[in-house]
Amino acid sequence: MEGPLPQLAPARLLSSSCSLEKSLQCSCSFHGIPTPSVRWWMGGVPVNVNSTDGSLRVTSTILGPWANSTISLTEQPKLSTRLLCKGKNQNGTHALSILLIPRKSSSPSKTFINGLIQGIVYGTIATALLFLCFTPLLMKYIRMKLAKKVTVGKAENDRKVRASREAEMPLKPKEPGESTISPSSENRISHPLP
């Protein structure tokens, strides 16, 4: 005589969990008779069972009427990616949908420091560009000031030289060919005194 036939049971999700350490790991455990098969879907695309793909790894184990499966993600998921864990046997299907939201990569203080450093770099670049743009105008201004000083200095020098030359010159200039006669002592007539 044969024993009683095992009762059929649809696939049911018994437990699920997600943890985040070095990578994101999510697990699903299903129970059913016959033992359910477990399949992962990421962003609407099925992930192969017991596969290792650069950024994700799936491992599944079956023990009697229980099926356990774990998916590991080593890269940050895209914004609002859906992860679906689906257990299925011939008597039914049960699934769990998980919405993955990437965590913020930096704390507010780190964001502030990054912004501060970026502001300093941009400010330095802007200052250097302004300096380079205004340098020709500044040099032109300096050259004009120096040229004016030199011109004033030369004019003052010329006035001093002219003044010293005029001081050395006689009041009435000698005309060429004219001679000056001065009385000589020989032409003087002496008269005896009484």
pLDDT tens, position by position, 72-107: 887 776 667 788 888 888 888 888 787 776 666 556
3-state secondary structure of 111: helix
Provide the whole-model pTM.
0.46
* Structure tokens that stand for 72 in this block: 């590991």
Query: Are 17 and 71 within 8 A, CB to CB?
Result: no
| Residue range 4-23: mean pLDDT, rounded | 78
Across 53-63, average pLDDT:
78
Q: What percent of the chain is predicted at pLDDT more than 70?
A: 73
* Residue 132 to residues 38, 65, 180, Cα–Cα distance (Å): 66, 77, 72
CB 11 within 8 A of CB 94: yes
H helix runs in the chain, sequence order: 108-168
Fold of the domain spanning 9-100: Immunoglobulin-like (2.60.40)
Q: Domains of the chain: which residue ranges? A: 9-100, 107-157
Question: So what's the pLDDT on residue 3?
Answer: 54
Would you say 121 and 62 are in contact if contact means Cβ atoms under 8 Å apart? no
Predicted local confidence at residue 1, as pLDDT = 47
pLDDT exceeds cutoff 70 at 66: yes
Instruction: Flag whether pLDDT at 131 surpasses 50.
Output: yes
Contact 28, 87 (CB under 8 A): yes
Q: What is the mean pLDDT of the chain?
A: 77
**Which tokens go with 116?**
């501060």
Lowest mean pLDDT among 11-15, 62-66, 98-102, 152-156: 98-102
